[in-house]
Amino acid sequence: MTLNYSFSYFMQKPIRYSLTAAACLLAFSAQAQLISNLYSVGDSLTDAGTYAPTTQLFVPDSGRFTTNPGLVWTQYLGQSLGLSSEAAIVNQFGAPTRTPNGGTNYAQGGSRVLLSPGVGVGAGVWFTADPVSSQVDRLLADTGGRIDGKALVTVWAGANDVLTQYGAVGLGLPVPSALGNVGTSAGDLNAQIMRLQAAGAKLILVNTLPDLGVTPFGLSQGPAGAGLLTAMSDTFNQQLLQATAGRNVLVFDTNRVLNDLRARPAAYGFTALNAATQPACLPSGSSSLLCVNPPEADTYVFADGVHPTSATHKVFAQVTLASMRAAGQNSTLAVAPLVAIRQHAQTLEGRLTSGALVVEQPDDSKIVLRPKGHLEMYTALESGRFGASTLGVRMGNEAKTTVVLVGGDITLAPNALAGLVLSHAEGDLSFSENTGGFKTRQTTVGTYATVALSPEWYLNAALAYGDLDFDNIHRDVRLGSTQLLVSSTGQTTGSYASARVGGGYILKAGRFFGGPTLSLTEERVKVKAYTEAPGPLAFSFGDTTYRSRRVSLGFNGTYDVGRIKPFARVSLEKDLNHDPLRVTMGSYASNAITVDGDRPDGLFALATLGVKGLLGGGMQWSLLYSTTVSQNDIRGWSVGAALQVPF
Per-residue CA distances from 293 to 59, 303, 310, 591, 613 (Å): 11, 11, 11, 39, 75
Where are any strands of DSSP class E within 279-396? 358-359, 368-369, 375-388
- Predicted confidence band at 578 (pLDDT cuts at 50, 70, 90)? confident
Tell me which CATH code domain 326-646 carries: 2.40.128.130
- Predicted confidence band at 628 (pLDDT cuts at 50, 70, 90)? confident
pLDDT 10s digits, 425-477: 999 999 998 999 999 999 999 999 999 999 889 999 999 999 999 999 999 99
pLDDT 10s digits, 341-394: 765 566 677 788 877 887 766 655 566 788 999 999 999 998 988 877 777 677
pLDDT 10s digits, 520-538: 999 999 999 999 999 999 9
Question: Percentage of the chain with pLDDT > 90?
Answer: 62
pLDDT at residue 367 in the model? 66
Name, in order, each residue with C-beta under 8 angstroms of 79's C-beta and a sequence gap of 6 or more.
none
- pTM for the full model? 0.85
8 A C-beta contact, residue 559 and residue 509: no
pLDDT 10s digits, 257-274: 999 999 999 999 999 999
pLDDT 10s digits, 93-107: 655 456 788 899 999
Query: With respect to CATH, is domain 37-308 assigned 3.40.50.1110?
Result: yes
Helix (H) or strand (E) holding 541: strand 540-541
Using CA atoms, how far apart are residues 337 and 439, in angstroms rounded to an integer?
A: 10
Using CA atoms, how far apart are residues 546 and 600, in angstroms rounded to an integer?
A: 10
Is the confidence at residue 19, as pLDDT, over 80? no
Q: Which of 496, 495, 478 is nearest to 487 (CA)?
A: 478
pLDDT at residue 10 in the model? 26
pLDDT 10s digits, 539-556: 999 999 999 998 999 998
Q: Where are the domains of the chain?
A: 37-308, 326-646
